[in-house]
Amino acid sequence: MKVIEVISYDEMSELAARYFLTKITTYPRLTLGLATGSSPKGIYQYLVHDYDKNRTDYSHITTFNLDEYIGLSKDHQNSYYQYMHDNLFHHVNIPPKQIHIPSGINDNNQAECEVYEEKINAIGGIDLQLLGIGANGHIGFNEPGTPFYSKTHVVNLTASTREANMRFFNNICEVPSQAITMGIQTIFNSKEIILLASGQTKQHAMVQLLSGEVSESFPASILNKHPNITVIADEEALLLAKEIGLR
């Protein structure tokens, strides 16, 4: 696991965005795994700014998002569908048919998960996966205890994850209690992964991740076994890990 320390959220975003742009402009076909939340927002801003300036072509890009809340429609202001379109998809030329986000409103969640997983496999897997990390080590919405071999599935969100995401809603009751998420195995199968961590709330997660101990009680820990992962973290996120000598 390669760890790059940067000064700030902005530096993290720019570094990761530049790396994405290198891949986007080099490969004739590229499948990106994308994340939501605060961590990747700066990257999307950078990519949109670049697109406005340079008209970088995205017509060969296919995307798969990590997760979506169950019960939120596409046009709900807090759906990840809405987040992705507001922050990226409305602004660059990825063909809509090449954009994939699990649907949180469907007749059969199980079937939705299976079809999603099949689509990822059919295209040959994810080339570059962007990840944030939850304070409890969740990746996507894979909460502690999720089997490492899990594929795309329905999850019950923990109280701590719902509380962490409450900042986007009016109150805790509005935060959905379930989601569809790529599984840990689905994520792990990506050929390359970039994980972002910024700020004080990620300090404990960084300590656990960088300790190298691999356990299903801390989902992100499996990434220690991935052959091509880079963690880009800012000084604040790494503070505790450095204090106890993990870096």
- Binding positions for ligand GLP, rule: CB under 6 A: 35-39, 66-67, 132-134, 140-141, 161, 165
Q: What are the residue ranges of helices labelled H in 105-222?
A: 109-122, 159-164, 184-188, 203-210
Strands (E), 70-208: 99-100, 128-131, 153-156, 178-181, 192-197
10 counts as catalytic: no
Q: Which is nearer to ligand GLP, 122 or 173 (CB)?
A: 173
Selecting among 87, 109, 136, 165, the annotated active-site residue is 136
Classified as helix, coil or strand, 147 is coil
Closer residue to ligand GLP in complex, CB, 109/165: 165
Residue 165 bears catalytic tag? no
Residue 60 annotated among the catalytic residues of the structure: no
Q: How far is the CB of 165 from ligand GLP (least distance, A)?
A: 6
Is 138 labeled as catalytic in the residue annotation? yes
Q: How far is the CB of 199 from ligand GLP (least distance, A)?
A: 8
List the catalytic residue out of 87, 112, 127, 138: 138
Where would I find the H helices in the chain?
Answer: 9-26, 41-54, 80-84, 109-122, 159-164, 184-188, 203-210, 235-243
The catalytic position among 67, 68, 112, 236 is 67
Question: CA-CA distance, 93 to 42, in Å (whole number)?
Answer: 19
- What are the tokens at 72? 């939120």
Residue number, nearest CB to ligand GLP: 132
Residues with catalytic function: 67, 136, 138, 143
